[in-house]
Amino acid sequence: MGVAVGGLSLIVFLPTVGAVVMLLIPRAMSPALFKTALAFTLMTFLWSLRLLWGFDPGSGEMQFV
């Protein structure tokens, strides 16, 4: 369980943090906007894979809380 402490919160709030960061980037810098969106999307996806690999389907206990 130590792998994913706060994992669900990170999956929920990381895209929100990315959106706030993108709001701070001027619209004229569209390449930076695309790179920022891609970076936050990939971070969220990779973290979700980490949670998937840490999931124990045989456990009846709550996981990742």
Q: Quote the number of domains for the chain.
A: 1
1-27 residue pLDDT tens = 455 457 788 898 999 999 999 999 999
Is 65 a domain residue? no
pLDDT score recorded for residue 16: 95
Domain range for 39 is 2-54
pLDDT score recorded for residue 5: 56
Residues 6+ apart with CB under 8 A from 11: 44, 47, 48, 51
Closest CA to 3 of 43, 41, 44, 55: 55
Average pLDDT, integer, range 43-60: 88
How many whole angstroms separate alpha carbon 42 and alpha carbon 45? 5
Is 23 a domain residue? yes
25-36 residue pLDDT tens = 999 999 999 999
In 1-65, which ranges are continuous DSSP H helix? 7-24, 30-54
Q: How far apart are the first and last CA of the chain?
A: 9
